Structure 1
Amino acid sequence: MAQSDHLPTEIADRFTTPFSRFVRIEATAGVLLLVATILALILANSPLSEPYLGFWKTSIGLHLGPLDFSRSLRHWINDGLMTFFFFVVALELKRELILGELRNPRMAALPFAGALGGMVFPAGIYLLLMSGEPGAHGWGTVMATDTAFVMGCLALFGSRISPSLRLFLLSLAIFDDVGAILIVAVIYGAALNWSALGLAALGLATVAGIAWLGIRNVPIYFCLGAVIWLCFDGSGIHATLTGVILGLMTPTRVWVSDVRLRAAFERVLSYPVGEHWSGNTLERRDLQIAGVAATESLSPLERLELMLHPWVGLVVMPIFALANAGVPFAGAEITQPVIYAIFAGLVVGKPSGVLMFTWIAARLGIALRPTGLSWRLLTAGACLTGIGFTMSLFIAGLAYAPETLQAAKLGILSASAVAATMGVLLLITIRPRTT
């Protein structure tokens, strides 16, 4: 039945609607992430501090004879659950590059250039300040942007903020998240186990092969993904890279066209009203075909993003914050240079690099700056990219020794708070000119 009370849809809606949904979930996730962070800080500095911090060290796993496959609860969260985070990031990146506004290479070049500058500049400042210090190895901590917190800050302004800024910051955050996890895989991994790496490659080849054969059963792919994750976990390369690779391998092509979908539903609707669907009947088979057609009219990429993104944004990321953001302030050594290096990298290096590289790319004609994205607006957005939080905490847990980790977390939290404040205040000052 035609829905005359709704406006007709356009082809562009197929691209803009998923983007809007992604932004809404990220904004809500930013609020939950903030609540989880505050709760973690309260618990870490309360009488419950010892049981709270000890809880995340609980060992969980399997013991099979000489084989010991057990990890701490924090490890399962940081390496296991965060794989889904990177999987969703890779899905969104591929959708924007194949189906979204970033299909235009010059449109994609602007956030890519910003992400590149936002990785190079802060890392350079960090290394300059930490030269000869024990924590110099942690330069990757200052390279990534927290998507959820950035989208949460923009959500404070509603529709008064140009959509071009949202797309730019979301794309930039996705680019540098992928860049950060590649750095994690290469720099912060252990010695390579070539046998496990070969098994991981075989698993990825199996995924590509069964996709080519036309197997579309999602649980099968999840099982294969789990096996590949185990292989990467034992290979010396960080296991969360599994999420990025599998996300980029996910097909964007639909199996059932709109024409076939309409034909399947018209066949079902042609039956008179009544009970036709039980038993081994032609009507039941037509109904089953219509159900499959409805599912397969969305690409695997779109279906997986719709399925996983709410869980990642609203469950995985708050759990990650609870497990990692709890920093006891008592006894914290605020004179450690790593605090100031991280602060300078995120608050100064990140926005400077983003602005410098986007300006160069636009000036050389490599990138196209949307008309709604003024340089004043872009400057405010660049300040927000200094909110490192999720990825910064993630990399800090890999890069620092226990005696340095607490100070590094203090640097991350303080820098993220200042960057958020700077960005929001700048947006307030230019809001009347962006309406």
Structure 2
Amino acid sequence: MTLFFFLVAVELKRELVLGELRHPRMAALSVSAALGGMGVPAALYLLLQSGRPGEAGWGAVMATDTAFVIGCLALLKSRIPQSLRVFMLSLAIVDDIGAILVVAIGYGGHQLAWSALAVAAAGLAVVRLMALVGIRSMSLYVLAGAFIWFAVDRSGIHATITGVLLGLMTPTGRWVSDERLYRILDRVVAHPAGNEGSGATRDRQSLRLAETAARETLAPAERIQIALHPWVAYLVMPLFAFANAGVPLSLGDLGDAVTVAVFVGFALGKPAGILAFTWLALRLGAIKPAELEWKLLAGGSILAGIGFTMALFISNLAFDRSLLNQAKLGIFLASLFSAAVGLALLFWVTRQGKRAP
């Protein structure tokens, strides 16, 4: 799961530096909506579970499942504007970061080993120094990241926070500009083919230089995202889902207190918090794209109640065995409800636009 969190943090870093979130007033809309989408569900859950055995599970209703939400939006294709996809992606990424911090702080160990934390901090400083001096070997960064992961794990803080920290430290700038790449490629094309042997000839050196330059025109954040995305999407997340999704279903369990609290937190708390904090952000000066109408925001906010992956992850940390199945059932029911209602609403509000010439 650290790889998943690392990838989410890299995506957030790219959005902050290169994407929509680089504009503060645009970013304020998504960030505010994400804060509402985390705070209101947690508050509703605590209201329903205050003083009960499941009270500690408030963090389980905070996280939106980015992959499922973007997948649902993909079903709508051109019916919805790109601004809604960007808004929901930014919201979900900030939401995931918030959930990761909740995991690290709220559900980590209570006894902190300060010596291990100091070692982890030193490891992060080394990684930063490596980037400053221009070290580009991914193998060295992987070794440093593994060292930091073990140190954080020994410290008592949940080790997945390592993925967030390293992801946010990943450079988004390219090491080779397009102009320099073109000059190198011109040198390769202009270099006549020699009749020398297969050793370290000038043309072979030029080709190797061109290969390195072409690779380095991609920023480290982009290269890592391209390399890790298939592994996380098709191996890490399915394995996690298969390992944690199993739950016995019974109609008698539908009224359990934890199941009801989780369902209410996701199905009602998520859209209420997102819409309320979006309105508040606009009142305070945030900017909303003109085509991002409130009825589209309402549909998107309902889809945000899909909380599969991170919700299961936090539930495993927050609940004991007697309550875990109740929480899982609430997550599944809320996710199904949010997906069905959110998609139905978005199909309905975009039906006229789809028929227009």
Q: TM-score w.r.t. structure 1 length? A: 0.79
Matching residue's letter, 2:55: A
1:213 to 107, 118, 133: 133
Which residue is 1:153 aligned to? 72
2:337 matched to 1:418?
yes
Name whichever of 327-336 and 375-384 sits farther off.
Answer: 327-336
Query: Shift of the alpha carbon at 1:174?
Result: 0.2
Matching residue's letter, 2:139: P
CA distance in 2, matches of 1:211, 1:277: 38
CA distance in 1, matches of 2:43, 2:296: 25
Per-residue deviation, residues 242-295 of structure 1 (Å, max 9, x unmatched): 110000000111111111100111111113357778211122211111111111
Which residue is 1:192 aligned to? 112
Unpaired segments of 5 or more residues in structure 1? 1-81
Which residue is 1:341 aligned to? 261
What are the residue-to-residue correspondences of 1:269-288 with 2, within 5 Å? 269-272=189-192, 278-288=198-208
CA distance in 2, matches of 1:432, 1:328: 39
What are the residue-to-residue correspondences of 1:10-25 with 2, within 5 Å? none
CA distance in 1, matches of 2:287, 2:43: 27
Q: Is the 8 A contact 2:193 2:203 kept in 1?
A: no
Q: Report the count of equivalent residues.
A: 353
Which residue is 2:21 aligned to? 102
Which residue is 2:317 aligned to? 398
SS of aligned partner of 1:156: helix
> Identity across aligned pairs (percent)?
57
Which residue is 1:387 aligned to? 306
CA distance in 2, matches of 1:433, 1:171: 27
What are the residue-to-residue correspondences of 1:8-407 with 2, within 5 Å? 82-190=1-109, 191-272=111-192, 278-329=198-249, 333-365=253-285, 367-407=286-326
Q: Is the 8 A contact 1:332 1:406 kept in 2?
A: no
Q: Is the 8 A contact 2:65 2:309 kept in 1?
A: yes
Q: Is the 8 A contact 1:125 1:344 kept in 2?
A: yes
Q: Is the 8 A contact 1:276 1:283 kept in 2?
A: no
Per-residue deviation, residues 319-373 of structure 1 (Å, max 9, x unmatched): 11101111122697444211000000000001000000001111222x1111111
Query: Shift of the alpha carbon at 1:230?
Result: 1.0
Q: Is the 8 A contact 2:312 2:328 kept in 1?
A: yes
Query: Shift of the alpha carbon at 1:433?
Result: 4.1
Q: 1:429 to 1:274 in 2, by over 3 A?
A: farther
CA distance in 2, matches of 1:433, 1:374: 14
Q: Is the 8 A contact 2:62 2:95 kept in 1?
A: yes
Per-residue deviation, residues 178-224 of structure 1 (Å, max 9, x unmatched): 01111111110012111211111111111011111110001111111
Runs of 4+ residues deviating >3 angstroms: 272-277, 330-335
SS of aligned partner of 1:251: coil
CA distance in 1, matches of 2:313, 2:305: 15
CA RMSD of superposed structures (Å): 1.5
CA distance in 2, matches of 1:320, 1:277: 52
Q: TM-score w.r.t. structure 2 length? A: 0.96
Per-residue deviation, residues 59-85 of structure 1 (Å, max 9, x unmatched): xxxxxxxxxxxxxxxxxxxxxxx1111
CA distance in 1, matches of 2:90, 2:197: 46
Q: 1:269 to 1:368 in 2, by over 3 A?
A: same
Matching residue's letter, 2:146: A
